[in-house]
Structure 1
């Protein structure tokens, strides 16, 4: 009996290790009165993995502005997403005070856009 369970377990592990794994993007619907905007949860994961949390918090100012303050200042649209993605990649100063934001030049444009979408959705 133990041999059958061990054999079955080995076959099961072997078969599952050869299956193709594809990353699946998960979306959450954020409703507004006139339309629904789909926001990728990948942006939140990218923000969590980056060094953003050293200067930004969701609901209070640290070194840089909070994500809530950013979301209040900029509407969630393509223009704002592109602007903030550019700021994330290139860095900058003067908009929120004299302390400059570090550039993240190795970040892909699409990843920066996902991060910007996440930040703008925190309302």
Structure 2
């Protein structure tokens, strides 16, 4: 028993550390379909939409079209983000895949708040979006 405990503690001390999280990559300009939404301007508020990284190969390489107030604006790939500059008020941010219908999030844009949304896939490989703190 003592030997087992010693081995666990010894091996546990040598366990591989988690890799530091890599920063999100910006969506390439060539994939922005509506560039007006990604241009900063007077009175506009930044809203960052990021697609969380996954090791799940079933969803890792799927593109995720992003919609803003019903218009397709870009596609997000694994580990990418896009920053929209929006007028204050309620907007709809939607995401989908070729296998999923558009899922929308009503998103209050207000300069007093940090605005981040996270795109993820659930255990059934269905896409989702939610507001997250930064």
TM-score when normalising by structure 1: 0.31
TM-score when normalising by structure 2: 0.29
Bigger fraction of residues in strand: 2
- Higher alpha-carbon Rg: 1
